Amino acid sequence: MTRLVLSELRKRYVREGRPLEASVEAALRADARPGAQAILESIAKRRRENRAEGQRVRKLLRYEGELWEQGVIHVAGVDEAGMSPLAGPVTAAAVVFAPGARLREIDDSKKLDAPTRERLAVSIKRECVAWAVGFVEAEEIDRMNIYWAGLLAMQRAIEGLGLTPQHLLLDARKLAHLDIPQQAIVKGDQKSLSIAAASILAKTARDARMCELDALYPGYGFAKHKGYPVQEHTRALSTLGACVIHRRSFGPVREVLGLPPLPPWPKASEMVERMAGKARRQLSLDLGEDER
């Protein structure tokens, strides 16, 4: 092999990542030049990485795989983004993959940089059976509190799928009011491919919305920090005051507006019990009316 041929092989099999034919690999192994051996080492490294990634993806599909084997085809992973910002919506996404799906690089959105998330979002939308995103805006968050707003965003994402999921996989949450079998998985965005994919779509959709809102409400830096309570944002909030998309139920925003702190919200379990109590009382009233 000439050095020109080695440069072509490096371009084809290392930089472009094409599969290495057995005959070419044998020729490279018989070539004692450092350049030939470097090509082989690069290819060996890529194979090791591919095997490791394949194992990681198989592990991420454990929950989906068990359901697929039981004949449950439409498994939706659901996750939200934007619970802690001082401004903008809370966003959730739902994603359904076909049985046997194998998408590499998918991971918890918090572990990925913005360009990787954007690239993977395109792949997810192209490869999945269905996907949808749901938003709950700041004024809605202020009416119901952020916990319930996150659940509502998830519900809106599920309703937007265009199909009814047979099972839901959620990141440490449950939608008790939905009559769909579901599983709450602690750190689900690190353990389920579908939840991780949903976390990516929720994050990229919310980031895009905050960039749009930055143009409407300049000066706060929404395109940069996406409404999170970083120092740049709190300084701008103190200087400019709160705008329409700021969450008035959040302490730093209330402080700027001169509003008193809100009393602590009841725990989620207490709120669920209150809602159940109201439902029981309403049912009793309805039955009483029927009896009359």
Closest CA to 149 of 159, 158, 139, 163: 139
Dihedral of the alpha carbons of 163, 212, 82, 227, in degrees to the nearest 10: -170
Residue 292 confidence (pLDDT): 30
Within a domain: 112: yes
For 111-139, the pLDDT digits (tens) are 999 999 999 999 999 999 999 999 999 99
Instruction: Name the average pLDDT for the chain.
Output: 88
pLDDT tens, position by position, 131-167: 999 999 999 999 999 999 999 999 999 999 999 999 9
Per-residue pLDDT averaged across 182-190, rounded? Answer: 95
Overall average pLDDT of the 251-263 stretch: 93
Domain of 190?
62-204
Give a yes or no: residue 259 inside a domain. Answer: no
Q: Are residues 35 and 128 both part of a single domain?
A: no
Highest mean pLDDT of the ranges 15-19, 30-34, 54-58, 90-94 = 90-94
Give pLDDT, residue 267: 53
138 within 8 A of 88, measured Cβ to Cβ:
yes
Q: What percent of the chain has pLDDT over 90?
A: 65
Domain count, the chain: 2
Task: pLDDT band for 269, please (50, 70, 90 cuts).
Answer: very low
pLDDT of residue 20: 86
Q: Do residues 49 and 75 both lie within one domain? A: no
* Host H or E run for residue 234: helix 231-240
Q: Quick one: 193 and 76 in the same domain?
A: yes
Q: What pLDDT, on a 0 to 100 scale, did the predictor assign at position 286?
A: 45
- Strands across the sheet containing 130-136: 130-136, 90-96, 75-81, 167-171, 182-185
Residue 266's pLDDT is 59
pLDDT band per the 50, 70, 90 thresholds, residue 290:
very low
Helices then strands, counting H and E runs in the chain, come out as: 12, 5
Residue 276 pLDDT greater than 50, yes or no? no
Residue 106 lies in a domain: yes
User: At 56, is the pLDDT very low, low, confident or very high (cuts 50, 70, 90)?
Assistant: confident
Report the DSSP beta bridge partners of residue 96.
76, 130
Show which of 155, 186, 204 is a domain's final residue. 204
Residue 169: helix, strand or coil by DSSP? strand
Q: Looking at residue 95, which CATH number applies to its domain? A: 3.30.420.10
**Residues 53, 67: one domain?**
no
Residue 96 lies in a domain: yes
Q: Give the mean model confidence (pLDDT) for residues 14-28.
A: 86
Provide the strand spans (E) within 15-163: 75-81, 90-96, 130-136
- Indicate whether 277 belongs to any domain: no
Structure confidence at residue 3 as a pLDDT band (50, 70, 90): low
- Least confident span in 100-104, 176-180, 189-193, 198-202: 100-104
Predicted confidence (pLDDT) at residue 170 exceeds the cutoff of 90: yes
Please check whether residues 173 and 116 belong to one and the same domain. Answer: yes
Predicted confidence (pLDDT) at residue 63 exceeds the cutoff of 60: yes
> Residues 37, 171: one domain?
no
In a domain, 265, yes or no: no
